[in-house]
Amino acid sequence: MKRHLYEAEHEQFRASVREFVAREVEPNVERWDEQRHVDRETWVAAGRQGVVGLSGPEEHGGGAVARDYRYRMVVLEELARVYAGSLASSFSLQDDILVPYFTELGTPEQQARWLPGLCSGELIAAVAMTEPGTGSDLQGIRTSARRVEGGWVLDGAKTFITSGIQCDVVVVVARTDPDAGRDAFSLLVVERGMPGFSRGRQLRKIGLHAQDTAELAFTEVFVPEDNLLGVQGGGLAQLKRMLPLERLSIAAQAVAVTDAVVATTLEYTVGRQAFGRAVADFQNTRFELAELATEADVTRSYVDDCVRAWNAGDLGEVDAAKAKWWATDVQTRVVDRALQLHGGYGYMVEYPVARAYQDARVQKIYGGTNEIMKHIIGGAMVRGAR
């Protein structure tokens, strides 16, 4: 079935992204995994070629396509084609979470201050929500900021922070009023070099090895009043408002990787010989390939509909939750079965399917665990039935 999502301008953009990936990404993927971070020069090169900063406004150097997520889909698909999952995830954090935060919540002065660097790749951003004792329970956050003349003094610790080692700015979720319930939290922008802001160890993970993930600490960090992002006390509501795009981003990456794995597995089984014939000629292999391809196609169809809904300004929390949990569940299931079709070679890290297997597992955890996605969906169903 022909995919009716992209138009001519998206395919023209794909050619540019593919050239960038061939030049800057594909030769470096294994080295980045070994050194456990992506080169900063790659971010700047991505900014020059318009591969990052797509969601930013044109006046600040962005691509001005925030309401056409198809351009971001193209980037995810081209990075998935070379199994650059760490870079794809890092770019998603920048383009689908942080740039929209500053675009939607920032004052004109804040936008002029930070967006040009974020869109050019010269600044790398992070968001610090999770704490050692809170996980998905954001209302349990203990990091606090107390009012002082001219701003805030921030204290606390965060963990599992993507781009935590390399980030130049970090949006910190902090408790600014201990007695305000859900209105107790605000978003404060902490910048590299602020006294009291330190980075702990870089965390070792099952996958996404080139995506640096770290612990962050804040000890009596003075944060100027001008670094309050959005409104005081609006932290949780502001985060919730931005979640559909974050979850669409995760679903889109899941679909892109799933498609890449199916294509790679088909190529491998056609070329691999066993018992005197191609592995793809065995009935079980063909049944497996048929199931993998069908799951990928059906999932892509739903995610494409979610992309259209986002572009129309109509993607709700429940549909985004459905896309996130289903697409990531399919991704992990397809990758596991594809690895099995590779046999022993699938367990060797030099084979792309092995990297895809390692990288896939976290997809069901971050952005809200899949169990939380089901809670959101089921809760909406029950409320609607009453």
Residues known to be catalytic:
246
Give the containing element (helix H, strand E) for 77: helix 70-81
Distance separating alpha carbons of residues 168 and 240, to the nearest angstrom: 24
User: Interior CA angle at 93 toward 265 and 377, to 5°?
Assistant: 75
Tokens of 343: 């046999």
Distance separating alpha carbons of residues 73 and 9, to the nearest angstrom: 13
Closest CA to 264 of 325, 208, 320, 339: 339
Rounded to 10°, the helix 70-81/235-271 angle is 40
Q: Which residues, other chains included, contact 360 with Cβ-Cβ below 8 Å and sequence gap of 6+?
A: 207, 254, 257, 328, 331, 332, 335
Q: How far is CA 278 from CA 205, 260, 271, 375, in A?
A: 36, 21, 6, 45
Tokens of 140: 């349990």
Distance separating alpha carbons of residues 233 and 341, to the nearest angstrom: 52
Q: How many CB atoms lie within 10 A of CB 43?
A: 25
Distance of CA 326 to the CA centre of its chain: 16
The size of the chain, in residues, is: 386
Q: How far is CA 273 from CA 159, 269, 351, 352, in A?
A: 46, 8, 17, 19
Asked if 265 and 289 count as a contact pair (C-beta separation under 8 A), the reply is yes
Phi-psi domain of 174 (left: phi exceeds 0; alpha: psi -120 through 50; beta: other): beta
